[in-house]
Amino acid sequence: KRQNQFILNRLKKGKELRKEADVKEVETNIHLIKAPTGRVKTLEKKMVQVIQEEDDDDMEEV
């Protein structure tokens, strides 16, 4: 019983250390994970402008 509990405690500590290391890695490399929302918004605005220009051109032709 005591030996089994000792092993479980050792494994638990390793799990905690791995989790801390993973959290630290995510904090340092968040720029790789996070989506670049700024670029997406500017692309959406450009797409809207292009569509509006096409609609304006179509209206002028009629």
29 residue type, one letter = N
Q: Specify the pTM.
A: 0.46
What phi and psi values does residue 21 have, to the nearest 5 degrees? -65, -40
The reported pLDDT for the residue numbered 41 is 66
Q: What is the pLDDT along the chain (62 residues), one digit of tens a residue?
A: 899 999 999 999 999 999 999 999 988 887 777 766 656 666 677 777 777 666 666 655 55
- Domain spans of the chain, in order of start: 2-61
Q: What is the residue whose two structure tokens read 């509990």? A: 5
Q: What is the DSSP string of 10-36?
A: HHHHHHHHHHHHHHHHHHHTHHHHS--
